[in-house]
Chain A
Amino acid sequence: MSANPEPTTHAVSAAEGAIARPARRAGRRHRPLTPFWRAVGAVAWKDLRAEMRSRELINSMVLFTFMTVMVFSLALELDKEARQTTVAGVLWVTIVFAGLIGLGRSLAAEKDRGSLDALLLTPIDRSALFFGKMIGNLLFVLVIALVLLALLTVLFNVTLLKPLLIVVMVLGTVGFTTAGTLLSSMSVHARAREAMLPIILMPVVLPVLISAVRASVAILEGLPRDDWFPWIQLLVVADAIFLAAGYGLFDYVVEE
């Protein structure tokens, strides 16, 4: 096996598994060696694969979701009109707190077993690591959202399978998990990280939550477009800001 320390293209023989490495190009000093979306896909696939095997997070999140919705359905005796308004609140409160369970563990588990270092040692753009973790978290939260839709439909007798509501749920969970993934990478080095994440995350995602709840209520009550569309626009803007912040800041957040 050869070992070539020169800063030029180097390759291993095909028998040992060819590794063609692109050489440095003038003006593209920060170009990562592993394509961005390949790294994103690899990280998200790894998180899903590991979770499918252990089911640590998803079981906790589903159990929490089930318990919360049960408590709300037993505690609130509501008429039909009140249910339309209340169910949106129950929906988002449950998504946020169930999501926090997943977000808190996602990077903390990597840090605890040292595998975060192994990820950071690979020749990828670190924002690809951010997007990979974010997509993994997003899929877990969307699974919870689907479970919630079914539970709330049954227990509150409200029809939630409306395309616009699904759009709001996706936009809201994208904003929530994007901000959550970035902030959990900040809190991962803290001693009381489990307590710190909700404290720093809630004020940041407040615009997303307010927009998501208001848009959900308006859609469920069947209000005209002017009542929900501005909230959806706000959600899109918030998502774009959080995605840009994650892309730009993650590298600095994870480096010592």
Chain B
Amino acid sequence: MSAAERTIEVRALTKTFGLNPVLRGLDLDVPRGEFLTLLGPNGSGKTTLLRILGALARPTSGTVRIGGWELPDEAEFVRAQLGVVSHLPLLYDTLTAEENLLFFARMYNLPREARRERVDTVLRRVGLARRARDVVATYSRGMQQRLAIARAILHDPAVLLLDEPYTGLDQDAAALLDELLREVAIGGRTVIMTTHDLRRGHALADRIAILSRGKIAFDAPCRDVNPDALPALYADTTGAATTR
């Protein structure tokens, strides 16, 4: 894979909290437009990796490049290209949906004359146009997650980071989120999603990787992985790593 094709390039990444190493020399390349699902048990370093990619945490060592910009030195440029959906909605519940998005539109420096139109567009795309002037505190968890997607795509980012976006959603809301991710959010973007839902992660992604003890322990295109065999593969991979 040439450098131009790699949107996300991670080399020998380590992150230590105190004496506790969480990432141990992790290497990862994600080409432009690819959807990578990152699986792994709790504590394997998935969220830490996404926080480093989002310039929310500083790596202990190693290099991280996103779209050609290097972290942490060019963090502002990296952040301009990122949209993040987390298990928390990252919204202000005392503001309306419209006020939330207008605020983030200003923070992402969308031109004043285009802000309202852009906010209306993304609200329509996530099906919340009718509730635009309701305070977010009155939204259900599923609606808040839809608004979180609207916030994440508001500035049309090249890269989407999805950190366990299904957490706390019921079956219907999770299915609706699937649909929204496919139809609205993914659209040609480079995506990394962490999840504990193996089947859903496999269904959405182009490639699947398993993180264990701070390293990529398995990495393959989804077409080469049988979804029915994924739970056994996951158990073998993470189990093998934990007994090593």
Contact = CB atoms under 8 A, between A and B. Distances in A.
A binds B: yes
Interface stretch (B38-46, B86-94, B213-221): B86-94
A29 B67 CA distance: 15
Given A3-B189, A113-B88, A118-B90, A34 B107 contact: yes
B13 to A, nearest CB: 14
A117 interface: yes
A225 to B, nearest CB: 44
Contact of B106 (A31, A38, A50, A114): A38
A75 interface: no
Interface of B: 7, 32-33, 51, 54-58, 66-69, 72-74, 76-77, 79-82, 84, 86, 88-95, 99, 103-104, 106-111, 114-115, 117-118, 121, 135, 151, 153, 155-159, 187-190
A71 interface: no
Interface string A103-137: 00000000001110111111111000000000000
Contact of B93 (A30, A42, A113, A119): A113
A49 to B, nearest CB: 6
A44 to B, nearest CB: 11
A5 B32 contact: yes
Interface residues of A, number: 49
B92 A46 contact: yes
A187 to B, nearest CB: 19
10 contacts: A1-B188, A3-B189, A16-B156, A34-B108, A46-B95, A50-B94, A53-B135, A114-B90, A117-B54, A118-B104
Contacts of B67: 5-7
Nearest to B189: A3
B66 to A, nearest CB: 8
B69 A120 contact: no
A33 B76 CA distance: 7
A202 B76 CA distance: 34
B103 A12 contact: no
Contacts of B190: 3, 5
A247 B159 CA distance: 30
Contact of A3 (B33, B57, B86): B33
B169 to A, nearest CB: 16
Nearest to A129: B107
Contacts of A1: 153, 156, 187-188
Nearest to A4: B158
Contacts of A118: 84, 90-91, 104, 151
Contacts of B189: 3
B56 A120 contact: yes
A98 B32 CA distance: 52
Contacts of A77: none
A126 to B, nearest CB: 9
Nearest to B88: A114
B92 A34 contact: no
B121 A17 contact: yes
B107 A39 contact: yes
A46 B54 contact: no
A35 B90 CA distance: 22
B112 to A, nearest CB: 10
A255 to B, nearest CB: 6
Contact of A122 (B107, B115, B118, B158): B107
A5 B156 contact: no
A107 B155 CA distance: 25
Contacts of B69: 7, 24
Contact of B91 (A2, A12, A18, A115): A115
Contacts of A124: 76, 107
Contacts of B121: 16-17
Given A16-B118, A46-B103, A121 B135 contact: no
Given A3-B158, A7-B67, A29 B90 contact: no
Contacts of A38: 106, 109
Contacts of A7: 67-69, 77
A24 B159 CA distance: 18
A41 B112 CA distance: 14
B90 to A, nearest CB: 4
Contact of A19 (B88, B103, B106, B110): B110
Contacts of A199: none
Given A5-B32, A7-B69, A17-B114, A35 B109 contact: yes
Contacts of B95: 46, 49-50, 53
